[in-house]
């Protein structure tokens, strides 16, 4: 706890790992380390942590929950087939394991298989409908899968009836909401005044100074709703925080500052600047934490900024890299943006 409060969460994780070396069946240390490494975007470390203790739980009656954690780490390290297998096995042993189910949903998102993802979620309500606000995140996954099928109105309906049924101010719930609205707008959907309540909540949290992942999702709402003063406040905090030496401050410096500048520029129609800043931030974006699926909203903004700026070759490189990380599968977003690239190349030639 002291290491975390001092701004060095990796040291906090190391303390949990030291406890696990002494007692591999210390479930609290295992789960806390898993969570910290997730917040740090350290997918390889997260996987290694779980795999070090799997054998110690070979006959544990609650092994299914550990398999769910393992499935998520496999997915985040790109081992999609193994992740699907581990996640489905987790659900056999622990039918109420929301984390395991959600790991498999991630697999289907990353491999452009929305039909299987929707079927999975709908056929295992007992795995997640008992959860606290994590159930909103599962609904978010379902909305993404519907969006990948082109069912824009269905995704928006889930936003209203499930994802924001409770107007909570937990940063994870705000992140679900701002991320989905951004995706919908990038597909040309008018989301009306839905940004307003998110912007009000985000304004109240610009000084949280907790994790860059949360900040950038607040920024999506502030930019969309035109809350210029709050945006300026976040910019000022970033400028000051980046000068301090702790581990989390380094993430503010890179990629936080460039990513924030890119989001602001995109919202103002300055697409060259948006693309330059987001492209600069991109190599370090995993360090803000969250999952590939969650950070993909920033990938989409980067790609669309580049398209609008006419940076065709650079956008193609980003799209190719995004596709490679998804087992070579093209989701609906990728298909449409590759088509936009071809159209952009034809127009100058005519």
Domain segments of the chain: what residues?
Answer: 189-350
pTM over 0.95: yes
Q: Using one digit for the tens of pLDDT, what is the confidence trace for 191-235? A: 999 999 999 999 999 988 889 999 999 999 999 999 999 999 999
Nearest CA to 299 out of 246, 345, 344, 337 is that of: 337
Nearest CA to 134 out of 171, 167, 183, 172 is that of: 172
Q: How far apart are CA 206 and CA 214, in angstroms?
A: 9
Helical H runs in 94-211? 98-110, 114-123, 134-148, 152-158, 171-186, 195-203
Angle between helices 212-224 and 171-186 (to 10 degrees): 50
Q: How far apart are CA 259 and CA 254, in angstroms?
A: 8
CATH topology (fold) of 189-350: 1.25.40
The pair of structure tokens assigned to 169 is: 């101010």
Residue 348 pLDDT level (bands cut at 50, 70, 90): low
CB hemisphere CA count around 98 (13 angstroms):
15
Q: Using one digit for the tens of pLDDT, what is the confidence trace for 123-164? A: 999 999 899 999 999 999 999 999 999 999 999 999 999 999
Mean pLDDT of 67-75: 98
Residue 254, phi then psi, degrees to nearest 5: -150, 110
Q: How far apart are CA 227 and CA 252, in angstroms?
A: 21
pLDDT at residue 350 is higher than 50: no
pLDDT at residue 101 is higher than 60: yes
Sign of the Cα torsion 102, 186, 194, 150 reads negative
Count of beta carbons in the 10 Å neighbourhood of residue 280: 16
Question: DSSP class of residue 160?
Answer: I
Angle between helices 171-186 and 195-203 (to 10 degrees): 140
Q: Which of 27-31, 104-108, 232-236 has the weakest average pLDDT?
A: 27-31
Nearest CA to 185 out of 136, 133, 223 is that of: 223
């Amino acid at each position: 706890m002291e290491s975390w409060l001092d701004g060095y969460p990796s040291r906090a994780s190391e303390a949990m790992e030291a406890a696990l070396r002494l007692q591999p069946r210390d479930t609290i240390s295992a789960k806390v380390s898993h969570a910290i490494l997730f917040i740090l975007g350290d997918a390889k470390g997260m996987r290694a942590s779980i795999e070090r203790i799997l054998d110690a739980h070979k006959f544990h009656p609650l092994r299914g929950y550990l398999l769910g954690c393992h499935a998520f780490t496999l997915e985040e390290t790109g081992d999609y087939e193994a992740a699907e297998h581990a996640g489905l096995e987790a659900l056999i042993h622990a039918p109420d394991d929301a984390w395991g189910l959600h790991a498999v949903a991630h697999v289907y998102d990353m491999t452009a298989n929305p039909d299987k993802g929707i079927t999975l979620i709908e056929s295992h309500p007992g795995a997640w409908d008992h959860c606290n606000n994590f159930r909103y995140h599962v609904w978010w996954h379902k909305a993404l899968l519907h969006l990948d099928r082109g069912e824009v109105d269905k995704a928006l309906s889930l936003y209203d009836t499930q994802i924001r049924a409770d107007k909570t101010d937990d940063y994870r719930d705000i992140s679900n909401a701002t991320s989905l609205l951004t995706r919908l707008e990038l597909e040309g959907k008018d989301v009306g005044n839905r940004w307003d309540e998110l912007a009000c909540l985000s304004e109240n949290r610009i000084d949280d100074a907790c994790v860059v992942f949360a900040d950038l999702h607040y920024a999506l709402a502030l930019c969309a709703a035109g809350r210029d003063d709050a945006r300026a406040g976040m910019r000022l905090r970033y400028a000051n925080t980046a000068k301090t030496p702790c581990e989390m401050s380094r993430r503010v410096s890179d990629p936080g500052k460039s990513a924030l500048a890119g989001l602001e520029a995109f919202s103002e129609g300055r697409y060259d600047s948006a693309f330059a800043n987001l492209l600069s931030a991109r190599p370090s974006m995993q360090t803000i934490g969250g999952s590939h699926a969650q950070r993909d909203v920033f990938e989409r903004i980067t790609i669309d900024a580049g398209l609008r700026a006419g940076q065709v070759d650079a956008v193609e490189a980003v799209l190719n890299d995004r596709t490679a990380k998804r087992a070579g599968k093209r989701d609906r977003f990728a298909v449409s943006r590759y088509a936009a690239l071809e159209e952009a190349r034809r127009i100058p030639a005519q």
